[in-house]
Structure formats: structure tokens, C-alpha cells
């Protein structure tokens, strides 16, 4: 199991504020990393008491976990998390994010999770229906 967390800075604010673009990113990410999408994209326009903190939060469930994002156009920043029980190409995760938000200013954290899980690492997770 791997959890990759991306913090992208200096992003194109027009892309961060474009709901269709954010939906497209969430919709395309699973296939880009060899995962199966099992839910529609969920995206919310978040309004707070401080307009500088307004932004978007969204996710898509994949057969092996999820892809999520939190975008703040006023700060030109987005956070993207990809968590999966199966391995995926971390370099592709990073390249896709940088390309989609027109930045190379990125911090990456990659965490191996459930290191004591009894589940064999080669076992594929079956599709879950809600």
C-alpha cells in the first residue's frame, strides 16, 4: 500500500478555479496510473467566511482506494493525494499533476502504509460496489 501526497505551488490560478478542469484531472488520474475508477467524480465548491480560504475539494474512488484534491486558487496551490493498495508509477503521478496545473514547484511525500498487513502484496483488490 502506498500513499503519495503532492503539494503543488505557483499553479495557474485559472486552472485551479476551473471546475471542469478539476473534474477532468480526477476523472483521468486513475487510468493514468493503471487504476480502475469505481465511482463518479465528486467535487465541491467550498465557500468559507474568509474568501481567501475558498476553493475546491474533490475525490474519486478507485477499486484500490482513492484520489483526492484540495485546490486554493487565491494561493495558487493544490494538494493531491493518491492512496492505493496496489503499486503505481509515482513519477507519472508527479508528471501528470505538474502538467495539469502548469507548475514545477512541488513537494512530494510518499508513505508505505500497512506494512504489517496480512494481505499479500501481489494480491489485487477486487472491485467494491456501494
Q: At a CB cut-off of 8 Å and minimum separation 6, what does 78 contact? A: 6, 7, 8, 11, 16, 69, 70, 71, 72, 97, 101
Selected catalytic residue, list 11, 65, 66, 84? 65
| Predicted local confidence at residue 124, as pLDDT | 47
pTM across the whole model = 0.88
Ranges of each domain in the chain:
2-110
Given 3, 21, 57, 70, the catalytic residue: 70
Catalytic residue among 11, 66, 68, 85: 85
The CATH number given to 2-110 is 3.60.90.10
Average pLDDT over the chain reads 92
Q: What is the pLDDT of residue 121?
A: 59
Which of the residues in the chain have pLDDT under 50?
124-130
Catalytic residue check, 85: yes
Annotated catalytic residue 70: yes
Amino acid at each position: 500500500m502506498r500513499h503519495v501526497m503532492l503539494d503543488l505551488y505557483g499553479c495557474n490560478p485559472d486552472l485551479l478555479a476551473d471546475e471542469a478542469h478539476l473534474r477532468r484531472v480526477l476523472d483521468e488520474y486513475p487510468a493514468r496510473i493503471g487504476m480502475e475508477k469505481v465511482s463518479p467524480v465528486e467535487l465541491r465548491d467550498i465557500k468559507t467566511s474568509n474568501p481567501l480560504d475558498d476553493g475546491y475539494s474533490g475525490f474519486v474512488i478507485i477499486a484500490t482506494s482513492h484520489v483526492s484534491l484540495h485546490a486554493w486558487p487565491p494561493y495558487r496551490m493544490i494538494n493531491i493525494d493518491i492512496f492505493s493498495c496496489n503499486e503505481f508509477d509515482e513519477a507519472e503521478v508527479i508528471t501528470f499533476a505538474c502538467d495539469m496545473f502548469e507548475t514545477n514547484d512541488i513537494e512530494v511525500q510518499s508513505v508505505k502504509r500497512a506494512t504489517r498487513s496480512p494481505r499479500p502484496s501481489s494480491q489485487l483488490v477486487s472491485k467494491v460496489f456501494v
